[in-house]
Amino acid sequence: MNTRAQISLLLLAGASGAVDALAFTALGTVFAGVMTGNLVLLGISAGSGAGHDVAAPLYALGGYALGAALTALACRGVGDAGRLPHWPGRVVAALAAQAGLLAFVAVAGAVLDGRPDGVWRTVLLVAAALAMGGQSAAMVAAGSGAAPTTYFTGTLTTLVTGTVDGSARGRGQLWVTARLLTVVGGAACAVAVREAAPAWGFAAPAVFAAAAVACQKPAQRLRRAVTSGRKNPLPDARNGRL
């Protein structure tokens, strides 16, 4: 995996940690990206008979599933990005859409002075979960050119077992460790900002996600695509198709 992809993964991990920290502390004590946690919360609610506590986990699960489904449709057939110098355009476009959703959450959070309540709390939770579902599906679409950035149990398990049996060696394992640390750092950053300046509390995830997209140089790639199209405006005309 190339360095640009590794840096983007670090930034996306930071966005994931920041989103889940904010979801847990400000949007209903649930998670926007860690669906295992939400499933457990549903089980707790069912076991304790607290039926009113199931709404937030269900909203988060629904938003995440919808985001993953839409991104899977958009990125269908992009191929494995493992040997490419950058992620496929549709993967980057999906991540840009995710950054846009997180920007919406940031702006709405600022308008609400960092303390969303009622319907707005639900709206922001669903939007954040939608973004995390899209991020996860985009990483799946990128194949071996990417790695999980919203769930890390398997990543941690692989790192620990690899360290014990000696298979976890080399520069790749340093990037894996860095991603785990960045999740913690992203969460800490988001909570610290919200404590110091509530109106800006929801900005950290959007900043991380936008930086991850910028690292893939989407504007440069768009210009190349436009230039190529101008040089060869009707590539199918030679084959008798319009």
> Mind listing the pLDDT tens digit for each residue in 59-95?
999 999 999 999 999 998 886 655 666 788 899 999 9
- Tokens 């988060």 correspond to 60
- Tokens 């976890």 correspond to 168
Query: Do 181 and 206 contact (CB within 8 A), yes or no?
Result: no
> In which band, very low, low, confident or very high, does the pLDDT at 146 lie, cut at 50, 70 and 90?
confident
Question: Domain range for residue 204?
Answer: 3-214
Q: Write down the pLDDT at residue 69.
A: 97
Would residue 224 count as lying in a domain?
no
Would residue 116 count as lying in a domain?
yes
> In which band, very low, low, confident or very high, does the pLDDT at 2 lie, cut at 50, 70 and 90?
confident
Q: What is the DSSP string of the chain?
A: --HHHHHHHHHHHHHHHHHHHHHHHHTTS--SS-HHHHHHHHHHHHHHT-GGGSHHHHHHHHHHHHHHHHHHHHTTT----TTSSS--HHHHHHHHHHHHHHHHHHHHHHHTTT---HHHHHHHHHHHHHHHHHHHHHHHHTGGG---SS--HHHHHHHHHHHHHT---SHHHHHHHHHHHHHHHHHHHHHHHHHH-GGGTTHHHHHHHHHHHHHT-HHHHHHHHHHHHHHSS-TTGGGT--
Average pLDDT over residues 126-137: 96
Mean pLDDT of the chain: 86
Percent share of the chain, pLDDT over 90:
60
Would residue 221 count as lying in a domain?
no
Question: pTM for this structure?
Answer: 0.84
Give the closest residue to 70 by CA, choosing from 137, 126, 127, 23.
137
Would residue 101 count as lying in a domain?
yes
CA distances to 75, 96, 209 from 72, in Å: 5, 15, 19
The residue with greater pLDDT, 83 or 97, is: 97
| Number of domains making up the chain | 1
Distance of CA 21 to the CA centre of its chain: 14
> What's the one-letter identity of residue 39?
L
Would residue 103 count as lying in a domain?
yes
Q: Write down the pLDDT at residue 103.
A: 97
Q: Write down the pLDDT at residue 203.
A: 96
Would residue 228 count as lying in a domain?
no
Distance of CA 68 to the CA centre of its chain: 10
Average pLDDT over residues 223-233: 50
Would residue 195 count as lying in a domain?
yes
- Tokens 């799946």 correspond to 140
Would residue 239 count as lying in a domain?
no
Q: Write down the pLDDT at residue 238.
A: 43
> Mind listing the pLDDT tens digit for each residue in 165-182?
776 666 678 888 899 999
